[in-house]
Amino acid sequence: MPSPPALRVTEVSKTFGSTRALDRVTLSVGRGEIRALLGHNGSGKSTLVKILAGYHRADEGSLEVGGEQLSFPFTGADLVRCGMSVLHQDIGLVLSLSVLENICSGGFQTSAIGRIKWGAERRACAALLESFGLDVGPTVRTGGLSQAERAIVGIARAFRQASGGVAGQREPAMLVLDEPTASLGRSEVEKLFVAVRAAAARRCGVLIVTHSLTDALALADEVSVLRDGRLIASEPVEGLTEETLSELVVGKRITSRTARGRELDQPPPAPATDRATSGVLRVEDLAGGSLVNASLSVRAGEIVALTGLIGAGHEEVPPMVFGAQVARAGSVWVDGVKYERRTPARSRRRGLAFVSADRLGAGGIQTASLGENVSLPILRRVTGPGGWIRSHAERTEVERVLSRFQVRASGADASFGSLSGGNQQKALVGRWIASGPTLLLMCEPTSGIDIGAVDEMSEILRQFAKDGGAVLFASAQYEDIVKIAHRALVFAGGVVVDELAGAALTSEDLLFASLSTPAAGASARHAALAPPVRRT
């Protein structure tokens, strides 16, 4: 008799108000199988994960884990009893604690008199980390690890919890991983894949929620696609391509970079303005944090990407230019005028806008309404005498932004935190573009959004550039950089090591360049000042 699947979801539905978030979804994940769950932002993926975690209670349907029925509502203890654990996108590690303390956060082995068996726990933790391909000691502080290493520690902790925690008397049945690769560069993703495959090799089913078609095809055995709350397809990965998979996710053919023509292969023609000649932005010898030295320029109508492995320094350039992060050295010119003593307030007056990678922490106010979030940068435009906000004018401006940037929500009064990641990002980018900047600075503009939203974000930024704006963004998403940018500067060790444009701007070349190091025998500063090789 065949063993029951690791996870069986049967006819599960969930409604929020008038929105049908899940509509009779049925799927199963076998023992040792890796299943990728794909779909638009707002397709129902997050709702399904929250139901599996016990955060939401399904309106109808049933769940089985390892053949054992889970009755709604259920608790974390019920999940552990059945052998399932859910690792959320934020991972939830305490960075000041050791790897061992994080992995054993559900409880330690203790002696008869209540003392922790530190020796036994260290040995067990070391063995678990080794099985997941992580060469890190149990006593290492978690805050000193890379993003990928922290994600693997999170998987190890989830694996231990699903195996019964302290007791550890069984092999886990099921792990659910929610966007574990969202903030990782390609080389970091490969490290994570080793851990996921190791879990599956021990007959643990894995459901990995992801927006990356590349990750799904490289890692999963099968893919399931949600669209508008319904399960559209469940198919083996073998024989699928990114094109066919994108059609399943979006519901229509996504125009590829090649099919769009070569409009992004070369920088756009320079507009007939002084800004095009001198450049909207010029940066020389900028340094701070992990950034050793960076010199670059961006002109009107141009989209420039900054990329590299995590910690390469590229992600620090936009906030330093905007004044949200202090630089220890370097000079910045905006529209040909040297810009000193940079602060966010002064940057706004100079026509700069900044969209943080942290949408809910530093970008939007999740407890406020969508309309309140959108109107923040344009309040002066809708404020009358005496400082009173003209409500009708504010709503008109908000509706214009929501319509122009195709933000999908039940209305301006919807809670910002309730929107999907893609719609949150379109609202944040849209509100800043509506405020009339000349330079848009961004960090990870496509992180955590699906392929359809990436395509929409690409169109938004290209139109902004076509209208004469300039864009500088930092990203670890190589595939998205290829879709969006005219050229890309690649960082390694805190300096620029390469520049790619035209036919050379591919995800493979971006990864190869990211693995480069400054020339041996030269100081980091000298390597940074040497002009990068531009391959076209």
Residue 506 lies in a domain: yes
Q: Does 425 share its domain with 449? A: no
Q: Which residues of the chain have pLDDT under 50?
A: 254-277, 518-536
Task: Tell whether 187 and 328 lie within a shared domain.
Answer: no
In terms of domains, do 384 and 280 share one?
Answer: no
**Judgement on whether residues 201 and 81 belong to the same structural domain of the protein:** yes
Domain finish residue from 191, 217, 250: 250
Residue 165 within a domain: no
CA distance 387 to 381: 11
Together in a domain, 65 and 186: yes
- Name which of 425, 429, 395, 428 is nearest 412 in CA terms: 395
- Indicate which CATH number applies to the domain containing 299: 3.40.50.300
Is 115 domain-assigned? no
Give me the residue label for tokens 């005496």: 386
Total domains in the fold of the chain: 3
By DSSP bridging, strand 19-29 and strand 174-178 are: unpaired
In a domain, 135, yes or no: no
Residue 232 lies in a domain: yes
Nearest-angstrom CA–CA distance, 264 and 302 = 10
- Regarding whether 458 and 512 lie in a shared domain, the answer is yes
Domain, as residue range, for 402: 361-435
Strands of the 60-65 sheet, one edge to the other: 19-29, 7-16, 60-65, 68-70
Domain boundary among 435, 463, 497: 435
**284 and 329 together in one domain:** yes
Which phi and psi angles does 496 have, rounded to 5°?
-80, 125
Residue 129 forms part of a structural domain: no
By C-alpha distance, which of 378, 506, 366, 381 is closest to 423? 366
Q: Mark whether 232 and 375 lie in a shared domain.
A: no
Last residue of a domain, one of 410, 435, 460: 435
| 320 and 466 in a common domain | yes
Strands 329-334 and 281-288: antiparallel
Q: Are 191 and 136 in contact (CB under 8 A)?
A: no
What pLDDT, on a 0 to 100 scale, did the predictor assign at position 213? 80
Cα–Cα distances (Å) from 258 to 68, 214, 262, 263, in that order, read 49, 18, 7, 9
Residue 141, in any domain of the structure = no
CA 492-501-264 angle, 5° bins: 130
Residue 503 lies in a domain: yes
Residues 445 and 507 in one domain: yes
The whole-model pTM stands at 0.59
- Cβ neighbors of 456 (< 8 A, separation 6 or more) are 406, 422, 426
* Same-domain check for residues 519 and 421: no
Residues 407 and 473 occupy one common structural domain: no
